[in-house]
């Protein structure tokens, strides 16, 4: 155990790193073997884990702190916040109740407790009325019968997407305007039908004279997506794009991003690709803002249609038989192969659940140590360089490309070059001082990495449409 002065030094470095939004450094500055209450009482390491979305680590460290001092209210509070983030509301409720009992006059804890109680009640109600096989949200919905008022000042959309409509859409979104609801419904329906017909793993080649750009999470950061396109070029028939999941949630322009990506998919169905992420799922959208944004900007029907379209998205893209690209990562079983992914019927299971191939494809993360380990998020698991090596060799791959995690430089190459993370939301949630990145791939299949910085955006905070103020702490 460190001497008191050493512990205080760790604490000071952690506080300094946290104040600069250097979450990784805040954690590293404090983790030094068995650092006891002297460090844990600072609360920095727990908050930094939460900022890094390392909810599993936050829960584990909070539990350590509670084991050391069962009256430590902050640890119960942080553990509750972490469990809220991974949608374990009942576990969170127990800890909020304990924190409130220890500190009965803490107004913030009492507020979070009341909100968590409401979430648990809502979940119980939704489960009670849940239909096992609900009808399609498109069934009986007469989109074509909706009229567009003469007062609508945007471009008109016919039966096919056009570049002129996309250009007008971009201008509208930059100016804070919305699309007419009929056009929103048309776009979602068209793209649902296109992606539903695609295989679970799309297999594509980069033709001579063409280029593919692979992008990671965009998370509703519309103005940063515009910067990416400004720097790298907009999608065309010759310039392919692949967006590797997590288009929505957290950022407050999620409808703008997903509608634009869908418009490009409709315009260029053979050269614009979309993989599903863990945030293209109902449970995440209900908590992290997308459902609320759909209702605020359009209506509840919009979210239901998006939900159905998300469940139709492919889960992976195989690029030139060399790069297996998916949102999360690899599998809990070494026997899992590309053929297993090809055979996966994603249409039978609309939501990923808590186990199985779909959950692992959307949720897992790499770790530096060999083998497999528990998830730092509290969902899924982690896989080591040996797991990646065996998977690539067994399937004839050069590497796995994935997203799902902030990287301070926008991307990171791990596992001896076989695991590549790309993340395209710079200054994530306006609070993490990371760059964004994208990868260009030509016909020779060489990976060309590019980084970019965040740009200014209108004064609307991340999570503006989230379910409740619990999410503002993430």
Q: Show which residues are catalytic.
A: 279
Q: Which long-range contacts (CB under 8 A, 24 or more apart) does 109-115 make?
A: 109/73, 109/77, 111/469, 112/77, 112/80, 112/81, 112/469, 112/470, 115/468, 115/469, 115/470
Task: Tell me how far apart the terminal alpha carbons of the chain are, to the nearest angstrom.
Answer: 31
322 DSSP assignment: T
Contact call for residues 372 and 382 (beta carbons, < 8 A): yes
CA–CA separation, 443 vs 450, rounded Å? 18
Q: Helix (H, G, I), strand (E, B), or coil: what is residue 469?
A: helix
What order do you get walking across the sheet with 436-441 strand by strand? 272-275, 239-244, 211-215, 436-441, 447-452
Q: Which are the contacts of 115, defined by CB distance < 8 A and separation ≥ 6?
A: 468, 469, 470
Task: Pick left, alpha or beta for residue 87 (phi over 0 → left; psi -120 to 50 → alpha; otherwise beta).
Answer: left
The two beta strands, 399-402 and 323-326, are: parallel
Q: In what order do the strands lie in the sheet with 411-414?
A: 201-204, 316-319, 323-326, 399-402, 419-422, 411-414
CA geometry: angle at 41 spanning 37 and 43, to 5°? 135
Distances, alpha carbon 70 to alpha carbons 59, 94, 182, 233, in Å: 15, 14, 56, 56
Distance CA 214, CA 168 (A): 25
CA 244 to chain centroid, in Å, comes to 10
């Amino acid at each position: 155990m460190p001497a008191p002065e050493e512990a205080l030094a760790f604490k000071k470095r952690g506080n300094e790193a946290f104040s600069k939004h250097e979450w990784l450094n805040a954690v590293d500055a404090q983790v030094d073997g068995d650092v006891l209450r002297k460090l844990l009482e600072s609360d920095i390491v727990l908050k930094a884990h939460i900022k890094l979305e390392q909810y599993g680590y936050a829960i584990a460290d909070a539990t350590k702190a509670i084991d050391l001092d069962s009256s430590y209210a902050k640890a119960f509070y942080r553990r509750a916040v972490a469990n809220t983030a991974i949608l374990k509301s009942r576990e969170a409720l127990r800890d909020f109740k304990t924190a409130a009992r220890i500190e009965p006059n803490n107004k913030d804890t009492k507020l979070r407790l009341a909100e968590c109680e409401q979430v648990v009640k809502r979940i119980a109600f939704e489960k009670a009325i849940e239909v096992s096989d609900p009808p399609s949200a498109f069934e009986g919905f007469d989109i074509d019968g909706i009229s567009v008022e003469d007062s609508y000042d945007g471009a008109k959309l016919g039966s096919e997407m056009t570049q002129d409509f996309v250009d007008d859409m971009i201008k509208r979104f930059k100016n804070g305007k919305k699309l007419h609801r009929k056009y929103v419904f048309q776009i979602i329906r068209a793209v649902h039908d296109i992606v539903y017909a695609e295989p679970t793993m799309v297999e594509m080649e980069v033709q001579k004279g063409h280029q593919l750009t692979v992008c990671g999470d965009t998370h509703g950061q519309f103005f940063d997506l515009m910067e990416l396109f400004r720097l790298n070029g907009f999608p065309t028939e010759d310039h392919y794009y692949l967006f590797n999941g997590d288009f929505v949630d957290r950022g407050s322009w999620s409808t703008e991003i997903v509608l634009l990506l869908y418009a490009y998919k409709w315009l260029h169905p053979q050269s614009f690709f979309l993989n599903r992420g863990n945030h293209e799922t109902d449970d995440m959208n209900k908590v992290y803002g997308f459902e609320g944004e759909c209702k605020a900007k359009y209506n509840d029907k919009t979210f239901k249609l998006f939900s159905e379209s998300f469940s139709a998205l492919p889960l992976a893209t195989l690029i030139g038989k060399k790069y297996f690209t998916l949102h999360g990562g690899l599998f809990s079983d070494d026997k899992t192969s590309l053929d297993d992914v090809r055979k996966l019927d994603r249409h039978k299971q609309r939501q990923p659940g808590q186990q199985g191939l779909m959950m692992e494809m959307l949720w897992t993360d790499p770790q530096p140590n060999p083998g497999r380990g528990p998830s730092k998020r509290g969902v899924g698991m982690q896989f080591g360089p040996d797991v990646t090596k065996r998977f690539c060799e067994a399937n004839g791959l050069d590497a796995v490309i994935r997203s799902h995690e902030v990287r301070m430089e926008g991307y990171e190459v791990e596992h001896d070059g076989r695991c590549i993370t790309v993340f395209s939301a710079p200054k994530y949630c306006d609070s993490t001082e990371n760059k964004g990145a994208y990868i260009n791939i030509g016909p020779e299949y060489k990976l060309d990495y590019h980084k970019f910085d965040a740009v200014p955006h209108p004064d609307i905070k991340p999570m503006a449409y989230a379910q409740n103020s619990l999410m503002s702490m993430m």
